[in-house]
Structure 1
């Protein structure tokens, strides 16, 4: 009997065992459903009429508790049913034979594990188990894995992969560790369905290192476009949930993603891996949770990108661009840190609080509390604590003063005709009037408005210069005027929002998010140092998975490889570099590299395709429509027309209206539509499409070449660029890397 037949028989046996367990679970579901229905009917129809005394009430409470237990059991069995149904559809995808001394055991690996409870035997090992790491990390020969018992060494004598669908083995082949293996090639050549897929069958060795790392608080992954960074993050979440299931739940994890539409794009990966989806946020969402003042409009990241990439004709564009460069720089974070010290030191010359000859609170003590004694509290809390301390001290002095006031009235004959109660009231009011000036001085001293405090930086430029050690943009006065102008119009820009959120954390009341145990930050190159500091200050108890690609920075915010580590300041860290790009064909990757800042850090996977096509002409509407009609008749499922900004996306939509069916993606789009989409490049970040069409490519300047790199690397299989001329960037590309068509 050949190997294929043996494997088919083994598969049939595993599926039979799965079906047996599935039958048991479905029987339990039906039985539990009946119990739940009966309990609900009794509780809501009969029990309320029977509650006559405490005993009946206790019985009702007991019945409710029993109902809750039954419902929990039903949810558990339903979850098991779904797991077993997934297993039955495709129980495993790989097998390794691992020999330890003279014993060889076949290890079948799947998305979830399955055990034959009757025979106490693992039929399928979860891909996250320690022994399964052998499949990802080793070729045939000596191998080892680490488990709770220590290091287990042996030899891999067989490595086999399967394609199983609907309980049927479509094919199998024996393989070694090769990133261009048959399974990977077959999966990469598929069309996308609009959602990211799991990669458990094709995880590469370098990706596996990042996924399984449990030893470091910060895992920082740098990788080229299409290197699988986001997939790594999601599989790492699934791995951590499996390995730390007693301590870590889905509700304890947050992913910071670039956009709402990206959140939908990745939403199916964790459920496909048998885990619940975790919390997802954008930085916009989180920053406005920290600081969202009434009466102000807060700029969204969509509006920020749309302005910068689409409003160069605006008279204030250059100043705004320079303001963003300044406020997004690591230097600006240093200025804000220095400003906090300045605010503390501004209390070093407070006059003593003296009442009736007694020093109630000395200026020296006031400064000591602000600077040192109360520095475990947010700045505002320190001041409020000092105010309470002053009032408490004054209250005791006021009580003593009342007796003196009454005595003075007696001595002057002013107490005649008043009752004791009335005298007490008169004395109390006079003592209050005497201390009012001190209380008012304290109230004025400690009161501050966060917006006004921040604006002071752009009102007092001498102060700003001193905080920046005179290292400021040459047009800082214009930046300051623009900043004050925005606030006068009750408008807060993205870069100012980050600074205000940072200051509120440090100056006002903000409690760290201790419930959150793990944070994923995707596209970290698009976070400024200030934004990252906001997250670092908020999630002080968390571990971090941080992923980025400096080549894909939408806006320049400094050198992320430097400032990311400086901001987090975590010694217990691991950096991983991924240079292989798996998304696009070799031809597309080689072409896109021409627009990368660091093209040497990008290696294409050896998957051949057609060269990118550059189409230059004056009647691109006609050419685009003809191309789309041709592509829509092909087997490819998703086509993206990528524009520089949303204004251009609207213009393209007008060209196609009534001729081609399409979806226009805007800031209110939460689900990625199928078919043809028109999307600005800043919303296409992180997404992938079978075919990408870059519109009006010639308008991208040398300074914006990263945008063209981002747009080009969205394509899996085919890439087209439409323009009216070659432009600055294309002239620098090797003509052998693309096919040129000029009308």
Structure 2
């Protein structure tokens, strides 16, 4: 049923307007008006779902045969496949979640439904408006003080995919809106499996971030439970909707801390109709290097001072020519003097990247030979110049003066040769820092070397010095506070336009090189002009749990404001000292298994196997770095907990989590803020002082 046909049914509902604040309705015995409204809304939902199916069937019926050649057919077919995937209807997900009764003044219907994607009928009349469309902004931003042309906002409650309730918010006549019950219930709804989209619950301050312009960098300092990750994902979806053609060419990339995190967020963008977004980790970009390394050495390698060291190490390989060029063609000989070769090398060195400079040297030498040919009355063309540039004499001279190099070759020499490292380091690294970088037992060659994760960022820096790194249209970086300066530089190179969304929480920094300020992070990314926005109001973590975890803030991030939660969460926190952890964990797990929702048992990394053994009588899984499996009861290593959420969290032995790493208190802060409904802390050892 088109939207305009639904209006009379709603107008007959005496409770749909005129009440201050909210009016939440669900059908019950004797409630005829409410039942009639719900029935009308359900009819519109059914018609909208049918229209979406028709849109998808139409997309499936289109053929790529109309394209002229095979390549064009393949490109067109890929676009059609993406269109079909984007029109998928998820039966358990509401097609629309809100409705706006508008005062008019434009060509749009007076009543519009706001949902995850646009849906129209066979006459192209809108049945559902995409939440990203400009007119939908009022659903998130309108207030009685600024109704934005809206008389009434209606929110819908769902159970599974069935519409079960509605709630009206009159926006005319002044007054103050009460807290939305449907909104609160949706935020608090237990869940298992991957992250859901928050499109129905986006708050005004989150919406401002989501709809920020494409050209700039937005940096979000988000306390636990403020939805910063979801905001970043929805911003990517919004930009793809608003700048579809531009971003389709240049691409959008989501960078997360590990694969378990990517699996957790994997369903958000597809649920919003966006299926062509790359989601990866820093290791996925820089290389899956995993050789063990002294943290002190890794800290030096991650420092921004390594950038000039690497530049000098690469360009040191370009040497001063000592001989000229002799090119022979038949009986003719053509010479380029040694001083001319030196002038060419000097003019190229430092003005271009290493790889193009090497290619330019060959062409410049070839050009000088052509000049000699022309001086003898010959008429060589470009083909002759290319042939000379590829000739053996030119290649030999270029290889001697400007050798071909790979990042691995340069790095292998740097870590194997103390004199070479000292020359490249100059005053940027101390003698002690250079000693940390040198290999105790150097690998015989770069091919046999075992590289660490920190080495991956150094090789990427060198690779960009050799050949320019391609740039993306937009970059979303989550947990950015944990990245080293060299890793941040690598990501910044992939987004030279400065169009980026940077997400994180300084209080959750757990690496030895964790950032102390967002100015520092943005500088290393190359986005110095980025705007920093702070989200401190939480919706996911109960207040009782958040306040408990926030006791650690003076130690882990003294400059940050304490986060606040809208949800009181009385009774959500249990802290229990137990005599035997192995005996108490199964009992605690059974208690929360009796409730609805997902469960994460977060433990020190070294205790994962023991805890899993103690839970042998319960159906559970262990979360690994590459886990994509969904399961209701998971044993989670503390190092993998960042960015994840569970309805119920059991934390085992906080003191061991703190002792496991230098920034252990920050790790514990992360662990304690993963709970959406309840947190149970079990310990045999004394808790950290601020938690006692």
Query: What TM-score, normalized by structure 1, do the two folds share?
Result: 0.73
Shift of 1:104: 12
Three-state SS of the structure 2 residue aligned to 1:687 is: coil
**Aligned counterpart for 2:115 among listed residues 110, 114, 125:** 110
The answer to whether the 8 A contact 2:602-2:651 is kept is yes
Shift of 1:637: 2.5
Shift of 1:80: 5.4
The aligned counterpart of 2:663 is 703
Distance 2:345 2:308 in 1: 22
The answer to whether the 8 A contact 2:325-2:393 is kept is no
Three-state SS of the structure 2 residue aligned to 1:587 is: helix
Distance 1:69 1:116 in 2: 25
Work out whether 1:299 is the aligned partner of 2:289.
Answer: yes
Shift of 1:398: 11
Structure 1 residues 323, 178: closer, same or farther in 2, change over 3 A?
Answer: farther
Distance 1:392 1:638 in 2: 70
Shift of 1:677: 0.8
The aligned counterpart of 1:450 is 407
The answer to whether the 8 A contact 2:197-2:268 is kept is yes
1:79-94 paired onto structure 2 within 5 Å: 82=89, 90-94=95-99
Three-state SS of the structure 2 residue aligned to 1:590 is: helix
Work out whether 1:340 is the aligned partner of 2:275.
Answer: no
Structure 1 residues 323, 142: closer, same or farther in 2, change over 3 A?
Answer: same
Work out whether 1:692 is the aligned partner of 2:646.
Answer: no
The aligned counterpart of 2:462 is 503
The aligned counterpart of 2:524 is 567
Distance 1:503 1:63 in 2: 39
Work out whether 1:330 is the aligned partner of 2:304.
Answer: yes
The aligned counterpart of 1:189 is 188
1:24-43 paired onto structure 2 within 5 Å: none
Three-state SS of the structure 2 residue aligned to 1:600 is: coil
Shift of 1:111: 2.9
Three-state SS of the structure 1 residue aligned to 2:663 is: helix
The aligned counterpart of 1:650 is 609
Alignment deviations for residues 456-513 of structure 1 (CA, whole Å, 9 cap, x no partner): 4445657656766645467425413447657877210111111111111212x35414
The aligned counterpart of 1:382 is 357
Shift of 1:30: 7.9
Structure 2 residue runs of 5 or longer lacking an equivalent are 1-12, 17-31, 327-333, 377-387
Three-state SS of the structure 2 residue aligned to 1:491 is: coil
Distance 2:178 2:638 in 1: 30
The aligned counterpart of 1:281 is 280
Which of structures 1 and 2 has the bigger CA Rg? 1
The answer to whether the 8 A contact 1:579-1:601 is kept is yes
The answer to whether the 8 A contact 1:498-1:530 is kept is yes
The aligned counterpart of 1:624 is 585
Structure 1 residues 721, 474: closer, same or farther in 2, change over 3 A?
Answer: farther
Distance 2:213 2:456 in 1: 34
Distance 1:162 1:614 in 2: 37
Three-state SS of the structure 1 residue aligned to 2:571 is: coil
The answer to whether the 8 A contact 2:578-2:683 is kept is yes
Three-state SS of the structure 2 residue aligned to 1:454 is: helix
1:26-105 paired onto structure 2 within 5 Å: 82=89, 90-95=95-100, 97-98=102-103, 105=110
Shift of 1:128: 1.7
Three-state SS of the structure 2 residue aligned to 1:692 is: strand
Three-state SS of the structure 2 residue aligned to 1:682 is: helix
**Aligned counterpart for 2:155 among listed residues 161, 181, 186:** 161
The aligned counterpart of 1:138 is 142
Distance 1:277 1:61 in 2: 25
Three-state SS of the structure 1 residue aligned to 2:231 is: helix
Distance 1:393 1:624 in 2: 79
The aligned counterpart of 1:674 is 631
The answer to whether the 8 A contact 1:639-1:676 is kept is yes
The answer to whether the 8 A contact 2:314-2:410 is kept is no
Three-state SS of the structure 2 residue aligned to 1:3 is: coil
The aligned counterpart of 1:368 is 347
Three-state SS of the structure 2 residue aligned to 1:711 is: helix
The answer to whether the 8 A contact 1:287-1:498 is kept is yes
Distance 2:55 2:207 in 1: 38
**Aligned counterpart for 2:295 among listed residues 305, 321, 326:** 321
The aligned counterpart of 2:623 is 665
The aligned counterpart of 2:219 is 220
1:454-473 paired onto structure 2 within 5 Å: 454-459=411-416, 470=427, 472=429
Alignment deviations for residues 509-558 of structure 1 (CA, whole Å, 9 cap, x no partner): 35414xx4222111111221211211222333572111111111220324
Distance 2:280 2:77 in 1: 34
Alignment deviations for residues 650-701 of structure 1 (CA, whole Å, 9 cap, x no partner): 22212222x1221012234223x22211121222221101122222211214
Structure 1 residues 370, 481: closer, same or farther in 2, change over 3 A?
Answer: closer
Structure 1 residues 552, 352: closer, same or farther in 2, change over 3 A?
Answer: same
1:470-549 paired onto structure 2 within 5 Å: 470=427, 472=429, 475-482=432-439, 485=442, 490-507=449-466, 509-513=467-471, 516-541=472-497, 543-549=499-505
Structure in which a larger fraction of residues adopt helix: 1
Query: What TM-score, normalized by structure 2, do the two folds share?
Result: 0.78
Alignment deviations for residues 284-323 of structure 1 (CA, whole Å, 9 cap, x no partner): 11112xxxxxxxxx534xx86xxxxxxxxxxxx8xx1211
Alignment deviations for residues 93-131 of structure 1 (CA, whole Å, 9 cap, x no partner): 243555879x9955543333455676x865543322223
Shift of 1:21: 6.6
The aligned counterpart of 2:169 is 174
Distance 1:91 1:694 in 2: 37
Distance 1:350 1:111 in 2: 64
Structure 1 residue runs of 5 or longer lacking an equivalent are 44-58, 145-153, 289-297, 305-316, 402-431, 736-743
Distance 1:60 1:478 in 2: 62
The answer to whether the 8 A contact 2:53-2:89 is kept is no
Three-state SS of the structure 2 residue aligned to 1:520 is: strand
The aligned counterpart of 1:47 is none
Three-state SS of the structure 2 residue aligned to 1:274 is: coil
Shift of 1:707: 0.5
Shift of 1:712: 0.8
Shift of 1:631: 2.0
The answer to whether the 8 A contact 2:187-2:540 is kept is yes
Distance 2:79 2:526 in 1: 43
Structure 1 residues 180, 559: closer, same or farther in 2, change over 3 A?
Answer: farther
The answer to whether the 8 A contact 1:455-1:484 is kept is no
Distance 1:81 1:349 in 2: 63
Three-state SS of the structure 1 residue aligned to 2:507 is: helix
The answer to whether the 8 A contact 1:366-1:386 is kept is yes
The answer to whether the 8 A contact 2:358-2:398 is kept is no
Shift of 1:382: 1.0
Alignment deviations for residues 314-361 of structure 1 (CA, whole Å, 9 cap, x no partner): xxx8xx1211222223333xxx23541565477574435265985154
Three-state SS of the structure 1 residue aligned to 2:296 is: helix
